[in-house]
Amino acid sequence: MSIAPDSARQPSPEAQAASGAAMAPTRPLYWSVRRELWEHRSITVAPLAVAGVVLLGFVIGLSHRLRGVSALDPAQQHAAINTPYDVAAFLFIATSFIVSALYCLDALHGERRDRSILFWKSLPVSDLTTVLSKASIPLVVLPLLVFLLMLATHLVMLPLSSLILRAKGVSPAALWAQLPLFRMWLALLYCLTVIALWHAPVFAWLLLLSAWARRAAFLWAVLPPLGVAVFDRIAFNSWHVAALLKYRLVGWFTQAFVPPPKDGVPVDPLMLLDPLKFLGTADLWIGLALAALFLAAAVRLRRHRQPI
């Protein structure tokens, strides 16, 4: 197309369509989230790597784990079949947490460090949209990604298990009976949602730190809580602060699930969920209120921030 001066004021059909359609308010948010995924490739690479490790480990351990599985009593059989799935879930959740924490600490700091904040602020995207897009990574994007990857690994693991069992002359029916797939997936989705909601104030706090700190956001995130916990221990001989921190990290488990039966007898995974108790926990709502407060403060800070 010509870019002579006289044609400069005539936008292409594409641009006319875009301005004519009056951009939907969610469009900048959508593109801001994509932008985050372009910049922070660990968000997608790390869970994919975990999926790879899980599958590799599963394949290598497959034959010896299922050896003589038919000879075991139901509880042991259940454990033998379920353990890899539980380990995989743990690995995914732990990785997702670490990736989220590191991401949040960099999200509003990196753009000031490399001065690119001046470019982002030259575009019609509000500070609220930017901060929300960054908060959505640990709270929505990663849990969803982890969930889909878990489904995908399950869909590879199950047929493999069936094949091996069949090769050993065992009917795979026992396997399928031990793994109520859809109920498991539903339970997983619940679990990931619960964790995201429970950890929301943690990630919002880390985002706020990354908007505030001039340097070493990681140290600001780690040392003060550690220092307060140690002070609490030395001065008052108590573990209150440490317990509080631990509760915010792993307390979701006791608040959202009923303890599994001690005898290891397999139960319906959905029976272990306790959404009513979780929703009735004041600490959940206090945490969410704090998360909203921290995010609002991060929006305000970003508005004032210049490159460092």
Partner 1 sequence: MTVIQARGLRKAFGTTVALDGIDLQVEEGRILGLIGPNGAGKSTALNAILGLTPYQGELKVLGRNPWAERDQLMRDVCFIADVAVLPRWLRVSQALAYVAGVHPRFDRAKAQALLAKTAIRPASRVRELSKGMVTQLHLALIMAIDARLLVLDEPTLGLDILYRKQFYDSLLNDYFDHSRTIIVTTHQVEEIQHVLTDVMFMNRGRIVFDCSMEDFESRYVEVMVHPEQVAAARALKPMHERQVFGRSILLFDHADRRQLDGLGIVRTPSLADLFVAVIGEQAGAAAGAAA
Toward partner 1, which CB reaches closer, 36 or 274?
Answer: 36
Report the C-alpha gap between 89 and 108 in whole angstroms.
30
Q: Which of 57, 54, 74 is nearest to 65 (CA)?
A: 57
We find the least distance from the C-beta atom of residue 41 to partner 1, in angstroms, to be 9
28 is an interface residue for partner 1 by CB under 8 A: yes
We find the least distance from the C-beta atom of residue 4 to partner 1, in angstroms, to be 8
Instruction: Name residue, tokens 């943690």.
Output: 202
Toward partner 1, which CB reaches closer, 31 or 185?
Answer: 31
For residues 39 to 58, the per-residue mask of contacts with partner 1, x marking binding by CB under 8 A and - elsewhere, is x-------------------
Stretch binding partner 1 (CB under 8 A), from 18-26, 45-53, 198-206, 273-281: 18-26
Contacts (CB under 8 A) with partner 1, residues 101-130: 111, 114-119, 121-127, 129
183 is an interface residue for partner 1 by CB under 8 A: no
Report the C-alpha gap between 205 and 166 in whole angstroms.
51
We find the least distance from the C-beta atom of residue 35 to partner 1, in angstroms, to be 6
We find the least distance from the C-beta atom of residue 190 to partner 1, in angstroms, to be 33
Q: Which residues bind partner 1 (CB under 8 A)?
A: 1, 3-5, 8-9, 11-12, 14-15, 18-19, 22-23, 27-28, 30-32, 34-35, 38-39, 111, 114-119, 121-127, 129, 303-304, 306
